[in-house]
Structure 1
């Protein structure tokens, strides 16, 4: 008699919502495929009120890009709200990375601001100033210096600013075109830069949810 293969994704109901258990021994791509199948094929199960979701990955440490792909699958079910993603002995409160760090101030010429995770800067980045993160960069001010997002290879990272007038942008390993090629029509108002077809493109901020639907704005992702 053949061996019965246990599911790669086990779903359990709890008093607080739903618990998704991901088999740590399977390739993560296989887990994602099984999860996508369950979320798409059992649509009648997911219809209903908002439900808190906890995800346990066992001893598997997932990367930032893997987490974003996981969140993208759940974003198809608007009522399934990811509350936490937990690995053995560690809970991230919904984010496997440090979270969004809020800082206030001006990055002046010659200064370099570095952070692991997503950074929200309340201030300006002057020409000659540099901001580097492993996640995304959000500047509530003028970005006139250099910004490098996704410094460890995260191609889904973005760079956003109230006034996007950089000397240079970098996302993962891709470098933007020279600053004299930026058109005022593209960079006026709140805009963000992102990667598409291995090139950096710029779009209006209100198009962010269409281009990067996996990005979730939640108060518990911000910390001071």
Structure 2
């Protein structure tokens, strides 16, 4: 196998969409650094059952054709593009990868339903933007946020969820788990891992959790850690930006009594007009 970055393992047949990214008309396997990318075709036919059967055969053929060009346990990112995958289909792909000793670690998709299926199955998920970054190696800032991503699952250690909008999770974020969102992060459970809201630089975004015990908090480019002492009263809290940095306080009625002030680049209390700092 060639050692060049992003070197293809087979000959691609890409087209271009209006955004300038590559669209593949067949199953494509390529290397990106130390990992592999398995890219599924962009479009689906009007006969999804037979189309999927053929697609799975193409995946197996592509993997077996290049078997032996990677070491056992190599990580692979599955780029599904706009394709909708259910649990059964994702399991079929996983089994095909395991048969050639490749480890599926991340699913990259532009479909929220596929992102939910992958996250629930325990895989790291990158929605929308990863395709642009890996295929074209260009940094693209979305004009607007995507629809919120709602997940009903626990994010385990080693799992990362990345979404170009708000992320809402009914479940816990365990230590070693990570949520990165261009919008807000709302957790109906305990946050014990890493949460990064406003990842594209939006200082107005905030992080809410029923129990705030994070390894690290990030809003835009600011980084903070939770207090080392446990509060006397456990209650839902919100992490938000002020002119002095990230602050924590009770989430009760936060958006009703606060407003974001673009001049000070932080949230302020409506009545006082001053950034709130939790002692």
Taking structure 1 as the reference length, the TM-score comes to 0.49
Higher RCO structure (Cα 8 Å, ≥6 apart): 1
Q: Which protein is bigger by CA-based radius of gyration?
A: 2
